[in-house]
Amino acid sequence: MFELLTGTGLAASAGLNAYIPLLVTGLLARYTSVIDLPAGWQWLGNGWMLAILAALLAVELVADKVPVVDHVNDVVQTAVRPTAGGLAFGAGSASGTVTVSDPDSLFASTGQWVPVLVGALIALGVHLLKSAARPVINATTAGFGAPVASTAEDATSVLMSLVAIILPVLVLAFVVGFVFFLIWFLRRRAERRRERAAARAAGYRV
């Protein structure tokens, strides 16, 4: 159960920022005993890999905070974030952590591609919601909300990555919050569409 929550938290984090969960996992594995990566995932703690992830993260942090550029970045990240989510879920669910002593129990009878696919789908769902919400934020704030929203997403990604590894039970709170936010966002989006349709209809009558 805990390994599933760890993988879910890391994958959801990748849906907000592709590189943060991978970098957090690699750094903790390399410099602490909080997480013990299995043989197939030890490349995440490699020094060169950490440097590459850090460089990519630096580019992402800048691009995601500039209006219009953030939209282009989201289009590019449609392939990157699910991939990162799959890798993060696979590594996290197979790792030994401070709360998981038997990480092989969850996917013992499945192939390694199964957790990767699950993680990719989770990250894709979060990414699509983020990509749909950002234009609304930019439009309603004349672009000034982009850096604020991006910073909040980055902070959430960092926090979620740490929680997923150290205290995965709290990932349940994120899942519940995500569901409520999704329901609110879809309702708000439907309301905005009705308002625009009513405004167009009123304009035609005039």
Is residue 161 a contact partner of residue 91, using CB atoms and an 8 Å limit? no
**Residues of the chain with confidence (pLDDT) below 50:** 206
63-80 core/surface letters (b: 16 or more CB in 10 A; e: else): bbbebeebeebbeebeeb
Name residues whose C-beta falls within 8 Å of residue 117's C-beta, 6 or more positions apart in sequence.
Answer: 86
How many CA atoms does the CB half-sphere of 89 hold within 13 Å? 28
Q: How far apart are CA 91 and CA 44, in angstroms?
A: 9
pLDDT at position 104: 58
pLDDT in tens, 152-174: 889 989 999 998 888 777 777 77
3-state secondary structure of 54: helix
Residue 83, judged by CB atoms within 10 A of its CB (0-12, 13-18, 19+), counts as middle
pLDDT at position 136: 75
Q: Retrieve residue 187's tokens.
A: 């309702």
pLDDT in tens, 171-193: 777 777 777 777 776 777 677 77
pLDDT at position 199: 67
pLDDT at position 85: 92
3-state secondary structure of 173: helix
